[in-house]
Homo-oligomer: A and B are copies of this chain.
Amino acid sequence: MAEAKTTVSPAAVRDAALTLFAERGYHGTALSQIAAALGIRTPSLYNHMRAKQDLLRDIVADTTEQVWADYEAAVAGIDDVAERLRRATRVYALRHATHRREALIVNRDIASLEDPARTTVLELRRRHAHAFRSLIEQAGPTDEESATLAAFGILEMCVSIARWFHEDGPLSAEAVADKYSEYALRVAGLA
């Protein structure tokens, strides 16, 4: 496990935590494993972080905020509702291909996040899901119940990308994101 790293930084600790949390989960990862991956002893980690929980909080909070920023940028200035849904799905899918570890951690370890961060993150995720539901309601030939079902289904479909996507696979992240945003329109009854 020990690497020949000469300098460790907060960013390096976060990167090692990303890999291990994504593989084994927050509670399944010991700080000693993160230290070993960096080639240092456990207490030395505390030169680059405050607590294990802070690693999780930073990863989950940053990712959730970026998901929301992605969404807002994707739909800005677009009037056609179907096109708004396509773009919103496309950036969400794309993020799950390009930030696989972050996506897996957010979807698996949110219950391990302590308040107040947990409440803030859940609120932002609810806002994101609600925005999707609104788009589907506005655009589609769909009742309110179905819009909720479809929104959850579309979002979770995108999450699946983080489970199997590989950069060196036959399809690029962009190609996968295009496919899934097309699927989203079909689920919403728009294609």
Residues of A within 8 A of B (CB): 23-28, 108-109, 111-112, 145-146, 149-150, 152-157, 159-161, 163-164, 170-171, 176, 179-180, 183, 186-187, 189
Which residues of the partner chain B approach A170 to less than 8 Å between Cβ atoms?
145
How far does the Cβ of A29 sit from chain B's closest Cβ, in whole Å? 9
Number of copies: 2
A146 to B183 CA separation, bound complex (whole angstroms): 11
Flag if B111 contacts A24 (CB, 8 Å): yes
Cα A67 to Cα B121 in complex, Å, equals 33
Cβ-defined contact, A25 with B187, below 8 A: no
B25 touches A112 (CB 8 A): yes
Q: Is the CB of B112 within 8 A of A28?
A: yes
Q: Kindly provide the distance from the CB of A48 to the nearest chain B CB, expressed in whole angstroms.
A: 24
Determine the chain B residues whose CB is within 8 A of the CB of A24 once the complex forms: 27, 111-112
Known A-B contacts: A24-B27, A152-B164. Give 20 more (CB < 8 A): A24-B111, A27-B28, A28-B112, A108-B108, A146-B179, A149-B171, A149-B180, A150-B183, A152-B160, A152-B161, A153-B157, A153-B160, A153-B180, A156-B156, A156-B160, A157-B157, A183-B187, A186-B187, A186-B189, A187-B187
Q: Tell me how far the C-beta of A32 lies from the nearest C-beta in chain B, rounded to whole angstroms.
A: 15
